[in-house]
Amino acid sequence: MDINGRPILFFDGVCNLCNRSVQFVIRHDKKKQFLFAPIQGITGTAALKHLSNLKNSGLDSVVLFYKNRYYTRSDAVLQVLNLLGGAWRSFLFLHIIPGFIRNELYNIVARSRYKWFGKTDSCMLPAPGLKERFLE
């Protein structure tokens, strides 16, 4: 699934928090390196088959595929910030917090994201200038 070595960010396409997060990455991705795909799509479903550590649907985690490796939950978030570069790398100090603690905090937000941020009936449609960065 390597698309010229570019990072692919899989996200819950109906989650408002997830969609805002994708918009954040798009705004701060000066190199335009990231590609995006909703987890509910064909590409996202295929990617989730490779991940045995996600719960049933996998919709409770953001997934980053980069350099033939899958990153999930807080590791995915920190790797995205690392790839964005610049001041966003200053958050990498969070790696000193053990993964099980970071992921538990992530899981709390993930479980409540629809209640706190809402959800849409369908996946977002990218603006015409961004279509080439979305795999579906």
Work out the number of other CB atoms within 10 angstroms of the CB of residue 97: 12
Enclosing H/E stretch for 44: helix 42-48
Domain tally for the chain? 1
Is the residue at 2 inside a domain?
no
Cα separation values, 81 from 56, 72, 86, Å: 27, 13, 9
Per-residue pLDDT of the chain (136 residues; tens, 9 = 90+): 557 889 999 998 888 888 899 999 999 999 999 999 998 888 888 877 777 655 544 556 789 999 988 898 999 999 999 999 999 999 999 999 999 999 999 999 988 888 998 888 766 677 778 888 998 7
Residue range of the domain that includes 128: 8-133
User: CA end-to-end span of the chain, whole Å?
Assistant: 14
Is the residue at 86 inside a domain?
yes
Is the residue at 54 inside a domain?
yes
| pTM across the whole model | 0.85
Is the residue at 1 inside a domain?
no
For residue 99, the 8-state DSSP code is H
Bridge partners for 64 per DSSP: 9, 71
CB 67, CB 74: distance < 8 Å: no
CB 126, CB 133: distance < 8 Å: yes
